[in-house]
């Protein structure tokens, strides 16, 4: 089975091609510090070839949701050290996913400060989970050019902090409607300066952040996650093929480890003007980087994707959440636990560290 074969990723030799995808679990404390349950959670899943952490806020300004972890205070760094040491003792490889939520946030969990974004355009048609319950999204503060430049530096500092915390690398979360994704899309970016307008300008933020990360920790320790056709949080592209063809070709010029491709979730309809082609076929061949395919794969579809030869690894979300020993279960063709959606976000050990192992 190709899924269980080793593969080289950057400077790491991974024991299999199964990646644990980043999943928000909302188990940090009010100061963004993870605890012993989080140590156990990641250690349980260290049989993955690669683990990507839940999104970790790169700065206080990046925070959008309650009980999400950070990587910008010494207390947060020290807490993550316990996670990485335990994972490494189990032979695991773990990258920190670097997260800035942008407009996907609320002042209720930002000490009264409005969320920030490329433009002052609120998300409509959905609400945001906050410490005060579900609330309508607010119109965000438009980042000044100076603030954009500072945010880029914040990503670089967070990457350095990740190295101090013992992570093997970092992944830029540029998918799923968060800040880098907001810069890329016309629906959320109506700037008229060097960070808006043309495809080249709208791509500038992502490319500058990636270069900052590479400069900070070395390209072999850097990856990026993108979601070209996933319309979560009001993200709509006028021409997603043109936008991401340009972005991928520019990324090809950089030296980094991998590109994680988040396909459109089956829960979201395909927008009328979006291509109906298979995303990995359409875009994946454009990239010269090691490609990780993500979104709703099972054992059979993941193996079939790897056999095509475009994607080299597959990342699994809820399936890894519910099955800490997922590679072993695939190897033995064992029955899978089903994820309890009611316990995914927030709470204690229930639905977090109490999923049964097969053996």
Residues with a known catalytic role: 178
Sole residue written with tokens 């099972």: 298
DSSP per-residue string spanning 58-125: SSGGG--STT--BSSSHHHHHHHHHHHHHHHHTT--EEEEEE--TTS--GGGTTTPPPEESSS----S
Q: What are phi and psi of 13, to 5 degrees?
A: -95, 110
Strand-pair partners of 170:
96, 222
Angstrom distance (rounded) from CA 26 to CA 47: 23
Two structure tokens written together for 95: 């990258």
Around 323, how many Cα atoms within 13 Å sit in the side-chain half-sphere? 26
Sole residue written with tokens 């080289």: 8
Number of C-beta neighbours around residue 285 at 10 A: 12
Triad 232, 275, 254: Cα angle to 5°: 75
Two structure tokens written together for 339: 């994820």
- Among 284, 267, 193, 196, which Cα is nearest to 230's? 267
């Amino acid at each position: 089975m190709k899924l269980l074969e080793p593969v080289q990723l950057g400077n790491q030799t991974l024991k299999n091609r199964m990646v644990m995808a980043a999943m928000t679990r909302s188990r940090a404390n009010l100061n963004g510090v993870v605890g012993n349950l989080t140590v156990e959670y990641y250690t349980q899943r260290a049989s993955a070839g690669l683990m990507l952490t839940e999104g970790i806020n790169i700065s206080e300004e990046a925070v959008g949701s309650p009980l999400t972890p950070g990587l910008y205070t010494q207390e947060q760094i020290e807490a993550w050290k316990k996670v990485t040491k335990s994972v490494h003792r189990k032979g695991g490889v773990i990258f920190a996913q670097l997260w800035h939520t942008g407009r996907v946030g609320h002042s209720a969990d930002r000490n009264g400060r409005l969320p920030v974004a490329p433009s002052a355009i609120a998300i409509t048609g959905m609400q945001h989970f906050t410490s005060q319950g579900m609330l309508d999204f607010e119109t965000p503060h438009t980042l000044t050019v100076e603030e954009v430049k500072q945010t880029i530096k914040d990503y670089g500092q967070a990457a350095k902090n990740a190295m101090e915390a013992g992570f093997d690398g970092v992944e830029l979360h540029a998918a799923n409607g968060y800040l880098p994704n907001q810069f890329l899309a016309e629906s959320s970016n109506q700037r008229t300066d060097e960070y808006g307008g043309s495809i080249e300008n709208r791509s500038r933020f992502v490319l500058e952040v990636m270069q900052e990360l590479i400069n900070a920790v070395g390209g072999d320790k850097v990856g990026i996650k993108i979601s070209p056709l996933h319309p979560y949080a009001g993200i709509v592209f006028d021409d997603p093929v043109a936008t991401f063809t340009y972005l991928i070709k520019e990324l090809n010029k950089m030296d980094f480890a991998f590109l994680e491709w988040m396909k459109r979730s089956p829960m979201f309809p395909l927008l009328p003007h979006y291509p109906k082609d298979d995303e990995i076929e359409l875009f994946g061949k454009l990239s010269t980087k090691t490609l990780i395919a993500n979104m709703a794969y099972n054992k059979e579809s993941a193996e079939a994707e790897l056999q095509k030869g475009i994607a080299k690894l597959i990342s699994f979300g809820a399936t890894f959440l519910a099955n800490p020993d997922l590679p072993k279960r695939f190897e033995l063709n064992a029955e899978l636990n089903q994820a309890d959606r009611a316990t995914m976000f927030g709470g204690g050990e229930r639905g977090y560290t109490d999923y049964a192992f097969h053996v």
